[in-house]
Amino acid sequence: MEFFAELLAQSYVREVSEGATFAWCPEWYKHPEALIRMEAIWRAWEHLRLEPALGVSTWWLPWRP
């Protein structure tokens, strides 16, 4: 997936799962649930990157229910 390879993967230069009990499979792209999540992340990115004020900045904020 181009969005992941070209943007998202390049954004995380540190270990993000340190101390975590779960890790992504190295072949995540073979798992339908991972692809669905990545599609949702990409769609949110596409929507917010066109928002002229705080779009991309908002995208990077942690989600809080």
Q: Within 13 A of 33's CA, how many CA atoms are on the CB side?
A: 2
| pLDDT per residue of the chain (65 residues) written in tens, 0 to 9 | 777 777 776 666 666 566 666 667 788 889 898 888 888 888 888 888 787 777 777 766 666 65
What's the pLDDT score for residue 51?
Answer: 79
C-alpha distance from residue 6 to each of 2, 19, 29, 53, 63 (Å) = 6, 26, 15, 24, 23
* pLDDT at residue number 49: 79
Nearest to 61 by CA among 44, 46, 40: 44
Per-residue confidence (pLDDT) for residue 47, from 0 to 100: 82
Q: What is residue 3's predicted lDDT score, i.e. its pLDDT? A: 74
